[in-house]
Structure 1
Amino acid sequence: MSLLTVTRVEPLTPRMVRMTFTGEGLADLGTWPDQQLKLLFPKPGGSAFVSDSRDVSAWYQDYLAIPEPSRPWMRSFTVRSLVDGVLTVDFVLHGDDGPASRWAATAQVGDVIGRFGPSPEYARPLGTGDLLVFAGDETALPAIASLLELLPASQRFRAFVEVEDPAEEQDVPGVRWVHRSAGEDLVSVVTALDVPPSAWVWLGGEASAVRALRRHFAGLGVSKKDIEFSGYWRRSLTQDDAPTAEDLAEAQERIASLTE
């Protein structure tokens, strides 16, 4: 675990901001598809630092040992890029409802947060197939954009990203933008797609939408081992809330997919 220092703040759209960070250990990290990490945001008067431990279990025990009033908020993010020791992360701005969005809305160069990961132990290779399908909302856009950049020019793919309105679109070639302002939703648009059973699928975003799409593609005959999925957030709940029965079932399915 180490601390990150903001080196640049760049608004991308009305609801998304990009930040670059430097920090100890970043230059020693490799890169792989869909890198995940934990970011820690200090509470008022508190610190973002938790522990020097690199062991996940020991580090998390140290995290839980911090008294709750001063324990930093922890949220999961996807690396947008990591080049020459410079980490880039895109933040969705959705008001004051969460600590990450609240922090990102006012962050300045020199601000400090904590990180744990990304860890190569959780690296998954990019899928292969005649057709690759990517679908998610704006929280999954950084992951989808970074994955699309890895595709060879000859690879057939379809990519769908649900955002609020056209102002939230970014320069990501090949994406079919799904606009909530026009009455569209990700599940309805993606399930209308004709997908062969040989496809490889990547899903991310709101948990219930991800589950619905996973069931849809499995019903089309796509092998569960060829469906990479992650529920990034839950309606009316945060990462601080206890997991629901559906969350636990999703976790079991993800574990099972790793061993299939």
Structure 2
Amino acid sequence: MLPKVRLPETRHMITLEVVRNTRLSPHFTSVTLGGPELERLHPMGFDQTVRLFFPREGQAGLRMPTLSNEAWMAQVLLLPKSRRPWVRNYTLRRVRPEVNEVDIEFALHGTESPASAWALRARPGEPAGIFDMGISYLPPAEAAWHLLVADESALPAVLAILDSAPDSLVAEVFLEVPESADIRGDVRGPAGVRIHWLPRDGAGTMPGQLALETVKRAVLPGGRFYTWVAGESRLPTGLRRHLVNDRGTAKGDIAFLGYWRHGRSSPG
């Protein structure tokens, strides 16, 4: 899935270090990264995504690419695994330019996932790096309301979108999380936003399935609406198919992003 994106005017490879690691709930932790190079980041808000570079377990340091364009990937892949960093996509949950810090929230899937394992063990002073990938939340001005749908992997992105939203936003928000203890009781959003928390609580269903089936059954507001949906690949593809075929939604009014595929690890 290749969604429309808006890139910043300039992009740079930015090397940082872990400032703190804050456990948020049983399945989420927030890693704060900081350093003077963050002055080169252009905050865009909403679902601003970065390539996150972090060392493999046992590596003494972090080998960052030197090219601030798409040729960086070739640089990384040419490195032997002994020096090659892990690279994953993550949303900037919060940006605090006044103190040169960013927060990145991780949905924890145990130590089988390289990113989850790193987030569990990341300690202050350890290196990490980012490369800006822009935003995909690009609603048309004509949309009367928004539909935001996510499983746990895209929860930080939706929360960041709500943080950046104008007070006039009207939205139906469906957020699937592993269990009730992962619900963020302090999340409100603008007055016109209704948030539906969907904990699986041991149901054994694949991530994203509960959110998909819930939206399919939901009575939604009328009028033209914009959809932003992300998570395990079956959620965005399934919801897009439902909205287009069953609700008559224009394909151009749907941003759908497959963040991951169940049972398959990202290359690297």
Q: Does 1:152 align with 2:166?
A: yes
Change (3 A) 1:231 1:66: same
TM-score normalized with structure 1 length: 0.85
TM-score scaled by structure 2? Answer: 0.82
Q: 2:64 pairs with 50, 55, 68, which one?
A: 50
SS at structure 2 position matched to 1:138: coil
Q: What amino acid does structure 2 have at the position aligned with 1:154?
A: S
**Where does residue 86 of structure 1 map in the other structure?**
101
Root-mean-square deviation over aligned CA pairs = 2.0
Which gives a bigger RCO, structure 1 or 2 (Cα 8 Å, sep 6+)? 2
Distance (whole Å) between structure 1 residues aligned to residue 172 and residue 140 of structure 2: 14
Offset, 1:53? 1.2
- Residue type at the aligned position of 1:110: G
Is the 1:46–1:72 contact (alpha carbons within 8 Å) kept by the matching residues of 2? Answer: no
Cα deviation digits, residues 28-64 of structure 1 (max 9, x gap) = 32222211111122122254223221111x2111111
CA distance in 2, matches of 1:18, 1:194: 34
Q: Deviations over 1:74-107 (max 9, x none)?
A: 1111110112131110011111111110011121
Tell me: CA distance 1:204–1:81, structure 2 relative to 1, closer, same or farther (3 Å): same
**1:188 counterpart = 2:213:** yes
Following superposition of structure 1 onto structure 2, how do residues 208-223 of structure 1 map, counting pairs within 5 Å? 208-219=234-245, 220-223=247-250
Percent identity among equivalent residues? 30
Worse-superposed segment, 172-181 or 122-131: 122-131
Moved more, 37-46 or 103-112: 37-46
Q: Secondary structure at the match of 1:187?
A: helix
Q: Give aligned pairs, total.
A: 238
Structure 1 or 2: more helix by fraction: 1
With over 3 angstroms needed to count, the CA separation of the structure-2 counterparts of 1:123 and 1:154, relative to structure 1, is closer
User: Where does the alignment leave 5 or more consecutive residues of structure 2 unmatched?
Assistant: 1-12, 189-193
In structure 2, the partner of 1:161 is 175
- In structure 1, the partner of 2:197 is 177
